[in-house]
Structure 1
Amino acid sequence: MELVLVVVALALSGCWAGLRLAARARREATTLRRINATLEARAEQCARELQAALAAAEGQADQIKAVHRAKTEFLASMSHELRTPLNAVIGFSDLLRMNEAQEPLSHRQHQAVEQIRAAGARLLTLVDEVLNLADIEGGRLALTVERVDPLLIAHQVCEGLRAMAEAAGVELREPSPVAGLAARADRERLRQVLTALIANAVKYNRPGGAVLIEARQSLDGVDLAVHDTGPGLPAARMNDLFQPFNRLGREASEVPGAGLGLAVARRLIEAMGGRLEAESREGEGAVFTVRLPPAVDMPRAVMASPVPRLSLPEATLLYVEDNPSNVALMRHVITALGGIRLHVAETGPEGLALARDLRPDVVILDINLPGMDGFALKARLAEEPLTRAVPVIALSANAAFSDIRRGRAAGFLEYLTKPLQIPALIEALSRALTSGVETPAPGADAA
């Protein structure tokens, strides 16, 4: 009997424990369901907040893109508007300098003309730097990366800056010859970068100082180093060296600038697949090193700009331009060159009609023309049997690389930019008036 009672007791105890476990399991299940519901609610809330944050971020990104696009368009417009008056400032000052033999200037007048020319050149440099920065930031930088001879480009840059170095009392030492040196780069952009680096090395040097350019083959390609004996920079300033509009405390110095040159130079070199590095110690000068990737293609020679000839063969020139100061400048330039009969049209339709009647030997077009822009006029001239073979030169304040590439693709013999560089105009006219020269077909330079 006692055994039965023990068994019954054990059974009841087990049942009670089972009931307790079942009750506990139900409570824990209820708790888990409640926690799960809370977590699901929180997850849904987090998802809604995340979606709202993403939508807000996308809206902000769109706003930033719109602001950036507006800034870029403003900078491009500003570049165009500044280049038009600069065309007269620099063009007429160049004419006064060219005509000194026939119309001598007094010493004070000569000094004034030089100051006007120098101020115009500084303003043009600033316009170009701002436009370059806008193109880089906007992802519109056009590059033609090919095999180049960096030594040749360095020598040409040194020749162009030698007068500046002599005026500053700074010795400019060109790089020593290095056999077989070649790199991959955009020829004109590399020239632009080296010009900025060497000009800075001269400007921020000391009287009696020196600038040394060194070229060497490296394991990764080609290095071009610009050494100067200037005051150098403190270590605390090195991190700010390539920031736009940062002149590193030299805002009050006599050296003009806006603090854009180095920032643009580094971004141009990086866009070509290279690096621009700097080393400096205060009181011991600085070294800027351009590191370029190695070349793989055959080199092409680059010729330096020739000294302009002041005479051209007799010819008829049609100039289509609606700005009176630009027309006046062209009249003075053509008069100085001699032998060319100049005719002017102020609108696209007027230029087309005059070209049919005159059948000129060469046509120069502005791009932003009333009635018909320069590209449309160029296309119409190419369609007309009477004007199809006439070489056409563009002369425009639209000076972005994308504008120049579009002009070459449209078949212009040359795409010149304002402010007018008289040697470039003379070279373009000489090429256009040389027998056998054919206008490039549209798209020939588009690649």
Structure 2
Amino acid sequence: MGFLLVIIAVALTAALAGLSLATRARGEAVRLRAINNSLEARVTEATREMRAALATSDQQARGLAAASQAKTDFLAGMSHELRTPLNAVIGFADLMRMNSATEPLTLRQHQAVDQILGAGQHLLALIEEVLDLARIEAGKLSMSIEAVDPHLVARQVCQSLKPEAAAAGVTLRAPPVVAGFGVIADRTRLRQILLNLVSNAIRYNRPGGHVIVELRQGRDGVILSVRDTGAGIPADRMAELFQPFNRLGREASTLAGAGIGLTVSRRLAEAMNGRLEASSREGEGSCFTLHLPVARHTAPQIVASAIPELDVPAFPGGAATMLYVEDNPSNIALMRHVIEALGSIRLHVAETGHDGLALARDLRPDIILLDINLPGLNGFELKAGLDADPLTRGIPVLALSASAMPSDIKPGKTAGFRDYLTKPLDIPAFARALNRVLNEVGQAAEADRRLA
């Protein structure tokens, strides 16, 4: 009997212990469930907050993009509105100065005309700088990257600014002529940067001072420096140098400027895979240094050879009419020489896509040759505009571009160009393309004449 009671007691103790463990397990499970629910609630709340933050961020990004586009559109519209009266201001001032022989001006009138012309040109330059800054920020800056001779560009800039330097009493020293290396850059933009740097070096110099332009080849490219002997820049303001609309305390000075030129110049240098740096010592002068990638392969020697004659069919007026749409002055000058050598073609030039579209409608040329990287409308947009207009739809169009990769040429051919030529210009190939297209145009014109 006693043994049975012991067994019952042990069993009851075990049962009570199991009941206690079960109770504790249930309590632990409830606690863990509560923790889990709390964590799930926190994760849900964190996810909701994250989604709300992302939505807010997206909305802010869209708002910033819309504001940037609105700013660009405003500046473009404002530029158009300002250019119209500036055209009259600069144009009539030029006319008054050119007609001074037949309609003499007094000394005071002549000085007044010079002031009007200078102010108009300065305002036009400011408009261009603001627009360039807007285009760069919007990622819409058109660049034509090619091998460029930096010595030639630098010497041309110095030659154009010699009168300004002489008027300021500053000695301007251009780099000596040195052959052997070039840079990869946009010729027009490189000239713009150098004009800004050299002009600033003259403007902020002192009477009797010097501006020295130097070029040399470094380990990582070509280095072009513009050094002056002006007042220099305080060390504590160097960090502000490339900020837009910041004239470093010269806002109240009589020197013209808006504080945009250096900002635009640095952005242009970066767009050409280069960089623009500055150093200065207050009271001694400043030095601006432009680094650009070197052109690894020099251009082949140009050997004069016979240009194939054009077998141009008879056109009304005795010659075919060609419209060339190109914004690079050196390319335009080259084409004028080529057409003069080829003969039998009347050449007309437009320097922007919009001007090319308008001139094509008015002129109705027999053939159009256009660059791809054009300001305003690019070559593809210009071709689409020509195709959309019944007056210009049938005019054959040739493309001439520095974009020579297969990935560039294929879209050009599928866009409907009669041929896609690449730079540097292969004159015999260009002559053959002109022969082929103009003969087709002549034969079509002759067939139409017979039917009529």
TM-score for both structures, normalised by structure 1: 0.69
Partner-residue secondary structure (3-state), 1:402: coil
The whole-number CA distance in structure 2 between the counterparts of 1:4 and 1:52 is 71
The whole-number CA distance in structure 2 between the counterparts of 1:10 and 1:47 is 54
The whole-number CA distance in structure 2 between the counterparts of 1:109 and 1:442 is 49
The one-character-per-residue Cα deviations of 1:348-371 (angstroms, maximum 9, x if unpaired) are xxxxxxxxxxxxx888999999xx
**1:27 matches 2:9:** no
Contact 2:269 2:275 in 1 (8 A): yes
Contact 2:148 2:184 in 1 (8 A): yes
The whole-number CA distance in structure 2 between the counterparts of 1:380 and 1:95 is 26
Change (3 A) 1:15 1:173: farther
Match of residue 375, structure 1, among 354, 357, 363: 357
In structure 1, what is the equivalent of residue 36 of structure 2? 36
Change (3 A) 1:5 1:278: farther
Aligned pairs for 1:149-160 (under 5 A) are 149-160=149-160
Partner-residue secondary structure (3-state), 2:222: strand
The whole-number CA distance in structure 2 between the counterparts of 1:127 and 1:104 is 32
Partner-residue secondary structure (3-state), 2:376: helix
Cα offset, 1:6, TM superposition: 8.9
The one-character-per-residue Cα deviations of 1:92-137 (angstroms, maximum 9, x if unpaired) are 2222222333333221111111111110111011000011011101
Contact 1:201 1:230 in 2 (8 A): yes
**1:57 matches 2:57:** yes
Aligned pairs for 1:221-300 (under 5 A) are 221-299=221-299
Which of 176-185 and 82-91 deviates more?
A: 176-185
Aligned amino acid, residue 375 of structure 1:
L
How many aligned positions are there? 347
In structure 1, what is the equivalent of residue 78 of structure 2? 78
The whole-number CA distance in structure 2 between the counterparts of 1:40 and 1:73 is 49
Cα offset, 1:445, TM superposition: 4.9
Aligned amino acid, residue 87 of structure 1:
N
The whole-number CA distance in structure 2 between the counterparts of 1:122 and 1:48 is 55
Cα offset, 1:12, TM superposition: 6.5
The whole-number CA distance in structure 2 between the counterparts of 1:266 and 1:365 is 29
In structure 2, what is the equivalent of residue 106 of structure 1? 106
Contact 2:170 2:209 in 1 (8 A): yes
The whole-number CA distance in structure 2 between the counterparts of 1:24 and 1:271 is 71
Partner-residue secondary structure (3-state), 2:242: coil
Aligned pairs for 1:43-442 (under 5 A) are 43-299=43-299, 375=357, 378-379=360-361, 381-382=363-364, 388-389=365-366, 402-403=375-376, 405-406=378-379, 441=397
Cα offset, 1:16, TM superposition: 5.0
Contact 2:369 2:399 in 1 (8 A): no
The whole-number CA distance in structure 2 between the counterparts of 1:403 and 1:230 is 39
Change (3 A) 1:193 1:96: same
Cα offset, 1:65, TM superposition: 1.4
Change (3 A) 1:392 1:98: farther
Contact 1:198 1:211 in 2 (8 A): yes
Contact 1:244 1:263 in 2 (8 A): yes
Cα offset, 1:239, TM superposition: 1.0
Change (3 A) 1:406 1:131: farther
Which of 84-93 and 22-31 deviates more?
A: 22-31
The whole-number CA distance in structure 2 between the counterparts of 1:184 and 1:443 is 22
Cα offset, 1:87, TM superposition: 1.1
Aligned amino acid, residue 231 of structure 1:
A
The whole-number CA distance in structure 2 between the counterparts of 1:81 and 1:364 is 24
The whole-number CA distance in structure 1 between the counterparts of 2:93 and 2:80 is 20
Cα offset, 1:5, TM superposition: 9.1
Contact 1:182 1:295 in 2 (8 A): yes
The whole-number CA distance in structure 1 between the counterparts of 2:274 and 2:352 is 35
Which ranges of structure 1 fall in alignment gaps of 5 or more residues? Answer: 302-360, 383-387, 394-399, 412-438
Partner-residue secondary structure (3-state), 1:188: helix
The one-character-per-residue Cα deviations of 1:272-300 (angstroms, maximum 9, x if unpaired) are 10011111121121111101012135459
Report the RMSD for the aligned CA atoms in angstroms.
3.5
Contact 1:405 1:445 in 2 (8 A): no
Change (3 A) 1:283 1:131: same
The one-character-per-residue Cα deviations of 1:28-56 (angstroms, maximum 9, x if unpaired) are 22111111111111211221222222222
Change (3 A) 1:17 1:219: farther
Aligned amino acid, residue 170 of structure 2:
V
The whole-number CA distance in structure 2 between the counterparts of 1:259 and 1:277 is 16
Partner-residue secondary structure (3-state), 2:225: strand
Contact 2:353 2:378 in 1 (8 A): no
Which of 61-70 and 5-14 deviates more?
A: 5-14
Partner-residue secondary structure (3-state), 1:115: helix
Contact 1:363 1:391 in 2 (8 A): no
Partner-residue secondary structure (3-state), 1:213: strand
Cα offset, 1:440, TM superposition: 9.3
In structure 2, what is the equivalent of residue 354 of structure 1? none
TM-score for both structures, normalised by structure 2: 0.68
